[in-house]
Structure 1
Amino acid sequence: MSGSPAASIWDRERIGVTVGAIALIFLGAIEALAVTTVMPVVSAALDGESLYAVAFAGTLATSVIGMVACGAWSDARGPRGPLYAAVSLFILGLLISGFAFTMEQFVIGRLVQGLGAGGETVALYVVVSRLYPPHLHGRIFAAFAAAWVIPAMIGPFLAGAIAEFFDWRWAFLGVAALTVIAFTLIAVRLRALDLGGGDPSSVAGLTRRLLLAIVVAVGAVAVGLSADVPSAWGWPLALVALIVIGFAVVPLLPKGTLRSVPGLPSVILVRGLVAGGFFAAEAYIPYLLMAEFGFTPTWAGIALMLSAFAWAGGSAVQGRYGEVLGNRRIALISILLLLIAFVGVILTALTGASPLVIILGWAFAGAGMGLLYPRLTVLTLAYSAPGNAGFNSSALSISDATGSAVAVAIAGLGVATLGGGADAFPLVFAFAIVVVLLAMIPALRLGHGAEPG
């Protein structure tokens, strides 16, 4: 593929893949926003409030397995097969959740969906590394993030309206049907393109890595399930699970990640910490608005709509001015925006101030994530060679998913310990502040890799 400066993500040889990939990201965004909005309704309908956090954390946890498998598969054979398998699992999981009649069945669907969602992300990243020249990476990842714009406009509001006036099941079954269409589009285009082969020797140690990924996933689910047992046992169970996760995840990440070694390890660590803080907090934004401020599901989604708009805007700024701002400055600005949002939500929860503070404040969090997320992905590819792009991309996503799953599960355990009352919400956002503040350390050590000048 041409790497000339005149090349574009919309030129003839790439436009089909660009459109198909953006469609898959778009539908993933619809699903993510829909789940966050309708989960309070689902947990009430299926009498599964104790599994509220697991429904989030479980999907993130099993996505680690999909990431490891598809990362190794992509390096060994190319990304086409892994992408097809991952999207198929994503669709299957949506169907299981959509047709569930118990919370346990719903969670099983979410676990299957996580396998597909994690693998799909890694496979798409490898497609980008094989098909697009380095100077287009920032643009394509900005386009991926911008694919959240329409979901931001209609996703949370529509999901809330479906749950309120129709049936929450269509928030899952509808996305499944549309994903089949998007999948068909990208499959037809990729079949005619040469994505390169792979190095079969790169699968050495895959069995061990898959076992470790399974341990990480089981550990994260165990942290979530600890909220469903008495706190005298729940916290010790969670602590043991966290220790197990720590040991199991190390071989799945670049050496030195947990020690914040400068370069790629710090890029990977920032992703996990920031994702953990943000998603642990966001999981409880609609819950807070419904429980404490009397919002309906439809209107609770507005907070997520505005945040997603800001996410897309931050991503656009990164795509256009990322090289000018620099990696360290982008990371620090993003962390500051997240902290502003978290503090605003805490003060509102404590004082009973206008919920508009939450809705407007959460836009700061979205802007921070939109600014930072694509830059970390660009940096990961800048530190990668063709033979390890799959491993590094999966490591980035593993850090993201593990950090999010563990943080959401711990937040859920904290809420359960306090009985789920009004006092629990400030605790969730205070915890998110601590997690994001820890990201300041690796944020100062990102480096530049082989970014185009």
Structure 2
Amino acid sequence: MINKREGIFSSRYRALTIGIILAVMAVAFEGLSVTTIAPVIAKNLQGMELYGWIFSAYLLAQILGTMIIGQQIDRSGPAFPFIFALFIFSIGLIIAAVTQSMLVLIIARALQGFGAGAILTCVYTSISLSYPDELRTKILAVFSSAYVLPALIGPYVAGIIAQYSSWRFVFWGIIPFIILAAFLSLPSFKGLKVKGVQNEGRRQTNLWAIQLTIGTGLLLSGLGMMPKFFGVILGIVGLILMIIPLRRFLPSGTFVACSGLPAMLASRGLFMACYTGTQSFLVLALTEVKGYASDTAGLIVASAALSWSTAAYIQARLDERDKGQGRRMRVLIGVFMMCVGIGVIVWVPIIGITLAVASQIIIGFGIGLAHPTSGAISFAQATEGTEGEVSASLQFVDSFTPGIVVGIGGALITISHTVGIAPYLGISAALGIQLILILISLLAAYQLPHIKK
């Protein structure tokens, strides 16, 4: 038990809490800004057919960052991996800022994704090692709230920059935040060690991560080439390569949402994917189909941030009041709200500013309830010595499922462009995928066990 007067900003935890906030904010600024400017980038670099890869390259590379750095954390602690992750992330920003090619931009996004995955894995591990269960929902709520300022101003500012100057300055502008995060947060990571972890299979795990990333990339590339025969073959090969690594990285029973950690990971992976996918394709619908400016689209996307942070704060207070007894119900309510929010915008022709904002507020509130609570549920089931493994699993599902789902949506848009149908039909199909998957996430959440008093 902790002292009742001790909180996440007490002297014992203050430095680490501030370090986490800075690190997460730096990653959030980049990710949320790109959501707004992606259509402008794709047009400028003449690569609209590769639109989905702007997101998928980033998210799939997080798999490598999560797995490789997760193994290194278990071996030596999070301090050095944290430095390395910030460096790779910064290199990706610089390349993206100067590139003249869509393919090079995608490579830069992959570097950013690797760095972001590694950064967040370090953060998750520090939470698991440093905070007791009674404070984890609070720090996880702050973790979620660290997206608030970037989410409120990042998309709008990025839209303004892209509309009136150049989208390249968005990437340049994030580098100072990385430098500040490194300077202020690194001391908090020193001395943290994971106890009792063996690393005999570290190299094999890294190879599985590489195979999974390659397989997923082939699958998504093949889907984008359909209905061509070569696309079908490429997709099948990619799917085969993916199967074994997925079974290695996820707890047994995740694919069928068995009660406990498997169900939590299945539900979380899907609702994170749907949140990311919905925002990505909503911005495209608003700018390319409805004709709204980038800054307007950015403001609409930002409306989800305030409701996310509000819900995260509420769930932390409720968790403190009921001692974690209501965590399952909060996840269920959150995912159900996301179902409602996504459902109202699936058909692109009916989307207007009012409906888009209402949808984002509902979706944001839903994930604000479900996201930090799902992390607390997962950490509560971690045994001593498996903190790094659980942290990596959380970050893995946060990266893999959004990457593949956004990639599938992007492939549908590419197919619609190839066969010459109206763009809004391809975007509507991409949003329809999000609705189907969020319903599956809700079913998986029902498999969570009831917490006994």
TM-score class, shorter: over 0.9
Q: Unpaired segments of 5 or more residues in structure 1?
A: none
Say which of 398, 409, 412 aligns to 1:411: 409
Deviations 1:239-269 (A, max 9, x none): 4423432332111122221122211111111
Rounded to whole Å, the distance in 1 between the matches of 2:298 and 2:78 is 35
Residue number among 375, 379, 382 corresponding to 2:380 in the alignment: 382
1:327-342 aligned within 5 A: 327-342=327-342
Alignment of 1:8-27 (within 5 A): 8-27=7-26
TM-score scaled to structure 2, two decimals?
0.93
User: Which residue in 2 is equivalent to 1:394?
Assistant: 392
In structure 2, stretches of 5+ residues that fail to align are none
- Does the Cα contact within 8 Å between 1:290 and 1:297 map onto a contact in 2? yes
**Deviation (angstroms), 1:80:** 1.6
Q: Distance in 1 between matches of 2:326 and 2:123?
A: 25
Instruction: Give the Cα–Cα distance (whole angstroms) in 1 for the partners of residues 251 and 79 of structure 2.
Output: 25
Q: Does 1:224 align with 2:223?
A: no
TM-score after normalising by structure 1: 0.93
Q: CA deviation at 1:220?
A: 2.4
Q: 1:424 aligns to what?
A: 426
- Distance in 1 between the 2:264 and 2:215 partners? 24
Equivalent of residue 205 in structure 2, options 206, 209, 216: 209
Equivalent of 1:439 in 435, 438, 441: 441
> What letter corresponds to residue 217 of structure 2 in structure 1?
V
Q: Give, in whole Å, the separation in 2 of the partners of 1:276 and 1:236.
A: 26
Which residue matches 2:283? 286
Select 2:307's aligned residue among 264, 287, 310.
Answer: 310
State the shift of 1:227 in Å.
5.3
Cα contact 2:159–2:294 (8 A) shared by 1: yes
Deviations 1:10-43 (A, max 9, x none): 1123212211210111121111110100000111
- Is 1:270 matched with 2:267? yes
Displacement of 1:296: 0.8
Matched, 1:165 2:164: yes
Residue matched to 1:361? 359
- Of 316-325 and 248-257, deviating more is 316-325
Write out the 4+ residue segments of structure 1 that deviate beyond 4 Å after TM superposition: none
User: Equivalences for 1:31-110 in 2 at 5 Å?
Assistant: 31-110=30-109
Counterparts of 1:249-268 in structure 2 under 5 Å?
Answer: 249-268=246-265
Give the C-alpha shift of residue 135 in structure 1.
Answer: 0.9
The CA distance in 1 between the partners of 2:244 and 2:46, in whole Å, is: 35
- Contact 2:409–2:427 (8 Å) recurs in 1: no
Contact 1:71/1:390 (<8 A) preserved: yes
Q: Displacement of 1:139 after TM fit?
A: 0.6
What is the CA-CA distance between 1:353 and the residue it aligns to?
5.2
Conserved in 2, the CA contact under 8 Å of 1:223 and 1:409? no
In 1, distance between residues paired with 2:79 and 2:32?
27
What is the identity, as a one-letter code, of the residue corresponding to 1:307? A
Matched residues in 2 for 1:29 and 1:250: separation? Answer: 30
Q: Deviations over 1:325-358 (max 9, x none)?
A: 72332222122211211221124x24x3533211
Cα distance change on mapping 1:258 and 1:447 into 2, 3 Å: same
